[in-house]
Amino acid sequence: MATITLATAEDNRTDVRSAARIEHVSKSFAGPAGTQLVLDDITLDVAPGEFVTLLGASGCGKSTLLNLVAGLDRPTAGDITTDGRPALMFQEHALFPWLTAGKNIELALKLRGVEKNLRRERAEELLELVRLKGAYGKRVHELSGGMRQRVALARAIAQDSRLLLMDEPFAALDAITRDVLHDELTRIWRETNLSVLFVTHNVREAVRLAQRVVLLSSRPGRIAREWQVDIPHPRRIEDAAVAELSLEITEQLRGEIRRHGQH
């Protein structure tokens, strides 16, 4: 039977040693042509404080797996345990346009049960964390795409989760803004000791950000290979070590795409 479990270190019924533990998870969807297997027997651990990127071709099930870990859907088979409820950040910022940047963050604090008289101060602190000091009163339409994603990141952090799930959050941004936000995300991850599971189809982005890159095969998604990324921070997209490992991973990815195309 498939299960999703939220556990905490205080829950003495569960020994929490992972930010996320995915054990033999499969997911199928019913369609006009019958049942389609999207994920097949995925087993993956994300350690506390670890940054893991999920990489693969379009349609391999990366976002499906992230949704399962987030609890937005249930696996067909297997078990998922997370250390508390994860926070989720999408490609689209999903901010409420009728609220200011600060009030968007305060909403997450309110849902967490933070007292009203403390919310603004905490929202201001989080805006400063994402380098948006002074933007509390700005409406969404007054913010650039990169600024909106910073607010979305602050709102995700406001949920006080130990695990941050990110589904291609920078894919719609221009290259320069994306580069800046890579730096910001790395800084925030190191300052907060969050665990991050980050979905991308961009190989260099995966290598630049992660401590570990996990490659999913083409549908059905299976773990094809993993790489430990031992390149010291700060990293740049154009660094030789990043380029070298990216090339190796790209060749493996191309092989998975070719293999899928032959079936």
* pTM (global) more than 0.85: yes
Q: Dump pLDDT digits (tens) for 194-228.
A: 999 999 989 999 999 999 999 999 878 999 999 99
**For residue 49, how many other CB atoms are within 10 A of its CB?**
15
pLDDT score for 12: 44
> Is the link from the previous residue into 48 a cis peptide, with omega within 30 of 0?
no
Do β-strands 212-216 and 51-55 pair in parallel, antiparallel, or remain unpaired?
Answer: parallel
Q: Dump pLDDT digits (tens) for 168-196.
A: 999 888 999 999 999 999 999 999 999 99
- Do 79 and 30 meet the contact criterion of CB atoms below 8 Å apart? no
Residue with tokens 């600060």: 102
> Pick from 102, 104, 112, 106: which is nearest to 160 by CA?
112
Domains identified in the chain and CATH numbers: 3-86+162-261 (3.40.50.300), 95-160 (no CATH)
- Least confident range of 90-99, 128-137, 151-160, 244-253: 90-99
- Do 170 and 182 meet the contact criterion of CB atoms below 8 Å apart? yes
pLDDT score for 8: 56
Q: Dump pLDDT digits (tens) for 27-78.
A: 999 878 778 899 999 999 999 999 999 998 888 899 999 999 999 999 999 9
Distance CA 144, CA 151 (A): 11
Residue with tokens 């205080």: 10
pLDDT score for 60: 87
Q: Band of the pLDDT at 262, cuts 50, 70, 90?
A: very low
- Do 52 and 212 meet the contact criterion of CB atoms below 8 Å apart? yes
Distance CA 212, CA 226 (A): 7
Radius of gyration of the chain (CA): 19
